[in-house]
Amino acid sequence: MIFCSDPYPQNEKLKNELNELFNSFIKSGSYIKGPNCSQFEKNFAQYNGVKFALGVANATDALEIALRAIDIGQGDEVITTSLTAVATACAIKNVGAEVVFCDIEVDGYNIDPLDVERKITGKTKAVIAVHLHGHPCDINQIRKTCDDNNIFLIEDCSQAHGATVGGKKVGSFGHASCFSFYPTKNLAALGDGGAILTNKKYIFEKCTELHQYGWVNRISVSENGRNSRLDELQASFLNLKLRYLDEFNEQRRKIAQLYFNGLESMNIGLPEEKLGNRGVFHQFVISSSSREKIKEHLQDHKIFCGLHYEFPVHEQPNFRKKNCKLPQTEKQVSMILSLPIYPGLERKSIQKIVSLIGDVV
Ligand SMILES: *Cc1c(COP(=O)(O)O)cnc(C)c1O
């Protein structure tokens, strides 16, 4: 059986190192907020070219904490894409703000910067720009729009660890950026994990307070915080995995190239890399009016594709709004299909997938 994403091969490859880390973790006697977590925060900030990093429990928390740190709540509007993990929109709602959905670009699946501009009102306080499927969104244009309108930019980099725009890492463009280390992400823990990056000291300090009960230096509490920490075991795994991130991303790009070579002569929409961008292929998303036929044919051969996403967030019962129409998003979701892609996916599996698709289209 082949799945759309599968974290097992990379963990199998690193099994001995992971076991050693687990053994020294037990011996260390330090299980939460010890040296592994601070080391990872330092390494991850450095890798992304950003001043501060804070480990948290997951990306949904990271987004909520970042939004609260910049004082977003009731009465505020936050703009984001509807084609994203529902977590992005949940975080906005959880802080009490209103989610305003944007359409996607016509030549890709990322948030449309022109629609961002159109959706800004007097209540808009922030934009959450998602780098979907591992491909950077038009972050320079969105940053400009945010600056012109004096609103915050938060990047959701949960699918794009290591992707670059003009050689600069995603996550270094916004006022803050949020990452998930869920086991199938490009940088993956063996459990839950997340991080917030920022160059602004006051945002970092506020996030640090909010992620641990509102504590300032473990003494005074002036704000109602929560508990959202990255634990020592996951942090030690992440320190190891961070050393392999570029190599694993390169493997994903090689798999993508094999798909491009195999599928380019077929009547299928393929992902496009914009000039100056370097994506990390969290997903390999094709587009076809025969999507269902392709999906079922592959399934008959025990190959299970994904849909990212089957339903855009603005069509979810919890987020449905009157008069919210996003034509490009609605058109694309019926045609997209995420093919298997992950470090360790074998060449012969890719060839088989390509030839099975050829049977159908
Ligand atoms: C996975 C993901 C999240 C949620 O991450 P968790 O760590 O599961 O909370 C948020 N946004 C995007 C774009 C994601 O892909």
Indicate the length of the chain as a whole number: 361
Distance 8 CA to ligand 1 centre (A): 19
Probe target for ligand 1 pocket from 182, 226, 230, with the most ligand atoms within 8 Å of CB: 182
60 pocket-lining for ligand 1 (C-beta < 6 Å)? yes
Amino acid 217: pLDDT: 82
| The CATH number, out of the four listed (3.40.1130.10, 3.40.640.10, 3.30.420.40, 3.40.50.720), of the domain defined by the range 2-239 | 3.40.640.10
pLDDT at position 222: 83
Q: How far is CA 298 from the centre of its chain?
A: 26
pLDDT per position as a tens digit, 161-188: 999 999 999 999 999 999 999 999 999 9
> Which of 4, 60, 104 for mutating ligand 1's site (highest number of atoms within 8 Å of CB)?
60
Tell me, in angstroms, the distance from the centre of ligand 1 to residue 352's CA.
Answer: 30
Distance between CA atoms of 317 and 320, rounded to whole angstroms?
5
146 in Cβ contact with 153 (< 8 Å): yes
* Cβ atoms < 10 Å from Cβ of 39: 14
Question: Taking the domains of the chain in order of start, what are their residue ranges?
Answer: 2-239, 245-360
Contact 170, 140 (CB under 8 A): no
One DSSP character per residue, 114-158 reads: HHHHHH--TTEEEEEEE-GGG----HHHHHHHHHHHT-EEEEE-T
Q: Does residue 177's CB lie within 6 angstroms of at least one atom of ligand 1?
A: no
Confidence at 220, pLDDT banded by 50, 70, 90: confident
* CB distance 194 to ligand 1 below 6 Å: yes
For the segment(s) 245-360, the CATH number from 3.40.640.10, 3.90.1150.10, 3.40.710.10, 3.30.70.60 is: 3.90.1150.10
Question: Poorest-confidence range of 97-101, 210-214, 217-221, 270-274?
Answer: 217-221
**Residue 59 CB–ligand 1 contact under 6 Å:** yes
In the numeric block, the tokens 């996003």 are attached to 326
**Nearest CA-CA partner of 101 in 116, 86, 123, 121:** 116
* Per-residue model confidence as pLDDT tens digits over 95-135: 999 999 999 999 999 999 999 999 999 999 999 999 999 99
Residue 144 has what pLDDT?
98
Percent of the chain with pLDDT over 70: 100
Kindly tell me the sign of the dihedral angle through the C-alpha atoms of 169, 13, 56, 91.
positive
Residue 211 DSSP one-character state? T
Beginning with the edge strand found earlier in the chain, give each strand of the sheet holding 98-102 in spatial order.
Answer: 52-56, 194-198, 176-180, 152-156, 124-130, 77-81, 98-102
- Helix axes 201-210 and 59-69, enclosed angle (nearest 10): 120
- Find the 179 Cα to ligand 1 centroid distance in Å: 7
Tell me if 100 sits within 8 A of 78, measured CB to CB. yes
